[in-house]
Protein backbone atom coordinates (compact mmCIF):
# COMPACT_ATOMS: atom_id res chain seq x y z
CA UNK A 1 0.00 0.00 0.00
CA UNK A 2 1.08 3.53 -0.68
CA UNK A 3 1.92 6.46 1.58
CA UNK A 4 3.98 4.34 3.99
CA UNK A 5 0.91 2.70 5.52
CA UNK A 6 1.77 -0.57 7.26
CA UNK A 7 0.45 -3.26 4.87
CA UNK A 8 -0.18 -5.56 7.84
CA UNK A 9 -2.43 -3.03 9.60
CA UNK A 10 -6.06 -3.96 9.15
CA UNK A 11 -7.19 -0.73 10.82
CA UNK A 12 -5.23 1.29 8.24
CA UNK A 13 -6.81 -0.74 5.45
CA UNK A 14 -10.31 -0.10 6.80
CA UNK A 15 -9.59 3.62 6.98
CA UNK A 16 -8.47 3.55 3.37
CA UNK A 17 -11.78 1.96 2.37
CA UNK A 18 -13.64 4.90 3.91
CA UNK A 19 -11.39 7.40 2.12
CA UNK A 20 -11.75 5.90 -1.35
CA UNK A 21 -13.29 8.08 -4.06
CA UNK A 22 -14.13 11.77 -4.03
CA UNK A 23 -17.77 11.98 -5.13
CA UNK A 24 -21.11 10.77 -3.79
CA UNK A 25 -20.48 7.31 -5.23
CA UNK A 26 -17.35 5.16 -5.03
CA UNK A 27 -16.44 2.74 -7.78
CA UNK A 28 -14.55 -0.52 -7.45
CA UNK A 29 -11.76 1.18 -9.43
CA UNK A 30 -11.61 3.94 -6.78
CA UNK A 31 -11.12 1.36 -4.03
CA UNK A 32 -8.45 -0.51 -6.00
CA UNK A 33 -6.63 2.77 -6.65
CA UNK A 34 -6.77 3.69 -2.97
CA UNK A 35 -5.39 0.32 -1.84
CA UNK A 36 -2.97 -0.27 -4.72
CA UNK A 37 -3.47 -2.62 -7.66
CA UNK A 38 -0.47 -4.73 -6.62
CA UNK A 39 -1.65 -5.30 -3.02
CA UNK A 40 -3.45 -8.56 -3.69
CA UNK A 41 -4.00 -9.84 -0.14
CA UNK A 42 -5.42 -6.51 1.14
CA UNK A 43 -7.58 -6.27 -2.00
CA UNK A 44 -8.92 -9.77 -1.31
CA UNK A 45 -9.69 -8.73 2.24
CA UNK A 46 -11.67 -5.60 1.24
CA UNK A 47 -14.74 -7.28 -0.35
CA UNK A 48 -14.69 -10.00 2.30
CA UNK A 49 -14.88 -7.38 5.05
CA UNK A 50 -17.65 -5.53 3.23
CA UNK A 51 -19.67 -8.76 3.14
CA UNK A 52 -19.50 -9.03 6.94
CA UNK A 53 -20.52 -5.39 7.39
CA UNK A 54 -24.07 -3.94 7.23
CA UNK A 55 -23.41 -3.06 3.57
CA UNK A 56 -23.89 -6.74 2.73
CA UNK A 57 -27.64 -6.12 2.69
CA UNK A 58 -27.42 -4.17 -0.57
CA UNK A 59 -29.05 -6.31 -3.31
CA UNK A 60 -26.48 -7.80 -5.65
CA UNK A 61 -23.49 -6.78 -3.52
CA UNK A 62 -22.84 -10.34 -2.34
CA UNK A 63 -22.66 -11.65 -5.91
CA UNK A 64 -20.38 -8.78 -6.95
CA UNK A 65 -18.16 -9.37 -3.93
CA UNK A 66 -17.97 -13.08 -4.69
CA UNK A 67 -16.98 -12.43 -8.29
CA UNK A 68 -14.31 -9.91 -7.27
CA UNK A 69 -12.85 -12.28 -4.67
CA UNK A 70 -12.82 -15.13 -7.18
CA UNK A 71 -10.92 -13.00 -9.71
CA UNK A 72 -8.42 -11.83 -7.11
CA UNK A 73 -7.87 -15.36 -5.76
CA UNK A 74 -7.37 -16.75 -9.27
CA UNK A 75 -4.83 -14.07 -10.16
CA UNK A 76 -2.94 -14.66 -6.90
CA UNK A 77 -2.77 -18.36 -7.75
CA UNK A 78 -1.57 -17.49 -11.26
CA UNK A 79 1.14 -15.23 -9.82
CA UNK A 80 0.07 -11.97 -11.45
CA UNK A 81 1.84 -8.84 -10.22
CA UNK A 82 -0.93 -6.32 -10.97
CA UNK A 83 -4.64 -6.90 -10.52
CA UNK A 84 -6.89 -6.94 -13.58
CA UNK A 85 -10.64 -6.49 -13.31
CA UNK A 86 -13.08 -6.19 -16.25
CA UNK A 87 -14.60 -2.77 -16.86
CA UNK A 88 -18.11 -3.81 -15.80
CA UNK A 89 -16.74 -4.60 -12.33
CA UNK A 90 -14.35 -1.64 -12.08
CA UNK A 91 -17.23 0.72 -12.91
CA UNK A 92 -19.68 -0.66 -10.34
CA UNK A 93 -20.37 1.85 -7.60
CA UNK A 94 -21.64 2.10 -4.05
CA UNK A 95 -22.86 5.22 -2.28
CA UNK A 96 -19.92 6.79 -0.43
CA UNK A 97 -22.09 7.26 2.66
CA UNK A 98 -22.81 3.52 2.77
CA UNK A 99 -19.14 2.68 2.32
CA UNK A 100 -18.13 5.09 5.08
CA UNK A 101 -20.72 3.54 7.42
CA UNK A 102 -19.30 0.10 6.63
CA UNK A 103 -15.79 1.41 7.28
CA UNK A 104 -16.84 2.94 10.61
CA UNK A 105 -18.54 -0.34 11.60
CA UNK A 106 -15.31 -2.25 10.89
CA UNK A 107 -12.85 0.14 12.55
CA UNK A 108 -13.16 -1.17 16.12
CA UNK A 109 -12.94 -4.87 15.13
CA UNK A 110 -9.96 -3.98 12.91
CA UNK A 111 -8.09 -2.46 15.83
CA UNK A 112 -8.77 -5.59 17.88
CA UNK A 113 -7.50 -7.76 15.02
CA UNK A 114 -4.31 -5.70 14.82
CA UNK A 115 -3.69 -6.33 18.53
CA UNK A 116 -4.23 -10.09 18.50
CA UNK A 117 -2.68 -11.12 15.18
CA UNK A 118 1.03 -11.66 14.74
CA UNK A 119 3.46 -13.62 12.62
CA UNK A 120 3.05 -17.31 13.53
CA UNK A 121 2.85 -20.50 11.48
CA UNK A 122 3.82 -18.16 8.65
CA UNK A 123 4.73 -21.12 6.39
CA UNK A 124 0.99 -21.66 5.91
CA UNK A 125 0.76 -18.27 4.21
CA UNK A 126 3.88 -18.64 2.04
CA UNK A 127 4.39 -20.42 -1.26
CA UNK A 128 3.57 -23.15 -2.02
CA UNK A 129 1.25 -23.82 0.95
CA UNK A 130 -0.64 -20.56 0.42
CA UNK A 131 -2.09 -22.18 -2.71
CA UNK A 132 -4.34 -24.21 -0.40
CA UNK A 133 -6.20 -21.27 1.23
CA UNK A 134 -6.21 -19.40 -2.09
CA UNK A 135 -7.87 -22.34 -3.83
CA UNK A 136 -10.41 -22.57 -1.01
CA UNK A 137 -11.07 -18.82 -1.35
CA UNK A 138 -11.58 -19.20 -5.10
CA UNK A 139 -14.06 -22.07 -4.68
CA UNK A 140 -15.91 -20.38 -1.81
CA UNK A 141 -16.17 -17.06 -3.67
CA UNK A 142 -17.58 -18.75 -6.76
CA UNK A 143 -20.50 -20.26 -4.84
CA UNK A 144 -21.56 -16.99 -3.18
CA UNK A 145 -23.80 -15.84 -6.11
CA UNK A 146 -25.73 -19.12 -5.92
CA UNK A 147 -26.61 -18.41 -2.27
CA UNK A 148 -27.52 -14.74 -2.77
CA UNK A 149 -31.03 -15.27 -1.35
CA UNK A 150 -30.01 -17.59 1.50
CA UNK A 151 -29.88 -15.51 4.72
CA UNK A 152 -26.41 -15.01 6.21
CA UNK A 153 -24.73 -17.35 3.69
CA UNK A 154 -22.63 -14.61 2.11
CA UNK A 155 -21.70 -13.30 5.56
CA UNK A 156 -20.51 -16.74 6.69
CA UNK A 157 -18.51 -17.33 3.52
CA UNK A 158 -17.19 -13.78 3.61
CA UNK A 159 -16.07 -14.32 7.22
CA UNK A 160 -14.10 -17.42 6.23
CA UNK A 161 -12.47 -15.67 3.27
CA UNK A 162 -11.70 -12.74 5.59
CA UNK A 163 -9.76 -15.10 7.83
CA UNK A 164 -7.75 -16.46 4.90
CA UNK A 165 -7.05 -12.96 3.56
CA UNK A 166 -6.15 -11.72 7.04
CA UNK A 167 -3.74 -14.62 7.37
CA UNK A 168 -1.93 -13.51 4.22
CA UNK A 169 -1.97 -9.81 5.17
CA UNK A 170 -0.61 -10.43 8.69
CA UNK A 171 1.30 -13.67 7.94
CA UNK A 172 -0.63 -15.31 10.79
CA UNK A 173 -1.03 -18.92 9.69
CA UNK A 174 -3.26 -19.69 12.65
CA UNK A 175 -6.02 -17.82 10.81
CA UNK A 176 -5.73 -20.29 7.93
CA UNK A 177 -6.73 -23.03 10.35
CA UNK A 178 -9.60 -20.93 11.72
CA UNK A 179 -10.82 -20.15 8.20
CA UNK A 180 -10.75 -23.81 7.23
CA UNK A 181 -12.68 -24.69 10.36
CA UNK A 182 -15.26 -21.96 9.70
CA UNK A 183 -15.96 -23.17 6.17
CA UNK A 184 -15.92 -26.80 7.26
CA UNK A 185 -18.43 -26.11 10.04
CA UNK A 186 -20.66 -24.08 7.72
CA UNK A 187 -20.54 -26.84 5.09
CA UNK A 188 -21.45 -29.50 7.63
CA UNK A 189 -24.32 -27.38 8.97
CA UNK A 190 -25.62 -26.78 5.46
CA UNK A 191 -25.40 -30.47 4.61
CA UNK A 192 -27.20 -31.42 7.85
CA UNK A 193 -30.02 -28.96 7.19
CA UNK A 194 -30.35 -30.12 3.58
CA UNK A 195 -30.49 -33.81 4.48
CA UNK A 196 -32.42 -33.40 7.71
CA UNK A 197 -29.61 -35.12 9.58
**How confident is the model at residue 81, as a pLDDT?**
93
HEC profile of 118-155: CCECHHHHCCCCCHHHHHHHHHHHHHHHHHCCCCCHHH
User: Domain coordinates of the chain in residue numbers?
Assistant: 10-195
- Is 18 in contact with 124 (CB distance < 8 Å)? no
The mean pLDDT value for 139-156 works out to 82
More confident residue, 79 or 55: 79
Q: Tell me: pLDDT of 169 over 50.
A: yes
Q: What is the mean pLDDT of the chain?
A: 87
**How confident is the model at residue 2, as a pLDDT?**
42
The mean pLDDT value for 149-175 works out to 87
Number of other CB atoms surrounding residue 49 within 10 Å: 28
Dist. CA 166–CA 164, nearest whole Å: 5
The mean pLDDT value for 163-186 works out to 89
The mean pLDDT value for 67-90 works out to 96
The mean pLDDT value for 147-163 works out to 81
Amino acid sequence: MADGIDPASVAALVQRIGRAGSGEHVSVADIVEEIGDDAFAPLLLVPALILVSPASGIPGLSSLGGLVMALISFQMIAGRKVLWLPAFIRNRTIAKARLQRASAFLEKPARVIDRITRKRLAFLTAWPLRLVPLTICLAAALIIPFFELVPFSATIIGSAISLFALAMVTRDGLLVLFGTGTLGGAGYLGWSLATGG
